[in-house]
Amino acid sequence: MPAKAIAKNPPEERLVNLVVALMATEQGLTKDTILSSVAGYREQLEGGAKKDALEKMFERDKESLRGLGVPIETIGDHADPDDLREARYRVPQGEYSLPEDIVFTPAELALLNLAGGVWGERSMSDDARAGLRKIRALGIAVDEPIIGYSPRISVRDAAFAPLRQAIERCRVVEFAYLKPGEKDARIRRIQPLALVEYEARWHVFGIDLGAGAERTFLLSRVVGPVAETRTAFDPALRDGAGDRAVAGLDELAGRQSALLMVQPGTEAALRLSRRATPEDPGIRLPFVDVNVLADELASYGPEVRVVEPDALRDAVIARLTAARDAHGGVS
């Protein structure tokens, strides 16, 4: 009798199913429960895949999600915290709660309700629902409604997927990187350790082999394809990499800020005020990269004016002037 074919799920789908399952219960899920119930693992287990291979896959998936900023918590034996044989895993729902100071207008709430209705029942696949039913059948409490965790639609940079694969495989990569003000891109060779989203932009954090130090690169400045090499690196280097990347960006943003005057009730006011603190005569906004912030501020047109620093004001003016000249405008 021929062996049963092992179903292959895209890694992205498996990661989404894993996050949904780990967010669905407060008490956490054991590794055995995850492998036998979560779509992406279950089919392979039923198809005859070796359990130790699936456990290694789960460990890689867990580290990949942590590298992407998903806070996966490990709950061990209180009597023996080092004994992880029956450890349970979960994503604390409080980590994904909206800050208390964020409020929505009636119009914004109406749009959110429409969006929720569109995703609603379609935000979970049949496999994901089947997995949750199995988890419930085991007597594990699952919070409702799980469909409340709707996916967020975003357009990622082309470099995202190959970099994520290289991180999972612990392979050195090469790519061309173009910094603002430079005419030609330079080839960077790095050990990619984590992908992090900061201020709504994706960055790759790793060890720049040319500089011999940890560096963070903005994915939107990667030009051309990302080439994965055959050179491997120690997986232990990935431990805590995401946290180090965010801490470094936070530290950089803490050293530089902009004073802005923003028109109340505008899109600029809505978006910028959430990241800023009030300061006479406007708001004080920390930032990581002057050119990235200049691109954003220029997109708001007359809704925002830069008071300081001068370098940021000049960069915004240059972008607005270029846009005017490109469209045949006059002063």
* Chain center to CA of 16: 13
Mean pLDDT within 93-118? 55
What pLDDT, on the 0 to 100 scale, is given for residue 120?
A: 41
What pLDDT, on the 0 to 100 scale, is given for residue 153?
A: 39
Using DSSP, state whether 114 is helix, strand or coil: helix
Phi first, then psi, for residue 199 (nearest 5°) are 55, 45
Lowest mean pLDDT among 111-120, 128-137, 284-293: 111-120
pLDDT band at 122 (very low <50, low <70, confident <90, very high): very low
CATH 2.30.30 in the chain: give the residue spans.
Answer: 160-245
- Amino acid (1-letter code) at residue 327: H
Residues linked to residue 206 through DSSP beta bridges, in sequence order: 192, 215
**Residues 144, 137 contacting (CB under 8 angstroms):** no
State how far the Cα of 13 lies from the Cα of 20, in Å rounded to an integer: 11
**Residues 142, 24 contacting (CB under 8 angstroms):** yes
Higher-confidence residue of 24 and 261: namely: 261
Q: Using the predicted structure, report yes or no on whether residue 104 has a pLDDT greater than 60.
A: no
- Does the pTM surpass 0.75? The reply is no
Higher-confidence residue of 43 and 86: namely: 43
Mean pLDDT within 122-136? 51
Q: What is the pLDDT of residues 158-201, one digit of tens each?
A: 899 899 899 999 999 999 999 887 889 999 999 999 998 887 78
State how far the Cα of 159 lies from the Cα of 157, in Å rounded to an integer: 5
Token readout for 81 is: 């915290």
**Crossing angle (nearest 10°) for helices 11-23 and 126-137:** 40
Token readout for 8 is: 């292959």
Dump the DSSP string for 54-121.
Answer: HHHHHHHHHHHHHHTT---EEE--SS-TT--TT-EEE--GGGGPPPTT----HHHHHHHHHHHHHHGG
Phi first, then psi, for residue 307 (nearest 5°) are -90, -45
Task: For domain 160-245, give its CATH number from 1.10.1060, 2.30.30, 4.10.860, 2.50.20.
Answer: 2.30.30
Using DSSP, state whether 197 is helix, strand or coil: strand
Q: Using the predicted structure, report yes or no on whether residue 107 has a pLDDT greater than 70.
A: no
What pLDDT, on the 0 to 100 scale, is given for residue 144?
A: 43
Q: Using the predicted structure, report yes or no on whether residue 259 has a pLDDT greater than 90.
A: yes
Mean pLDDT within 48-52? 84
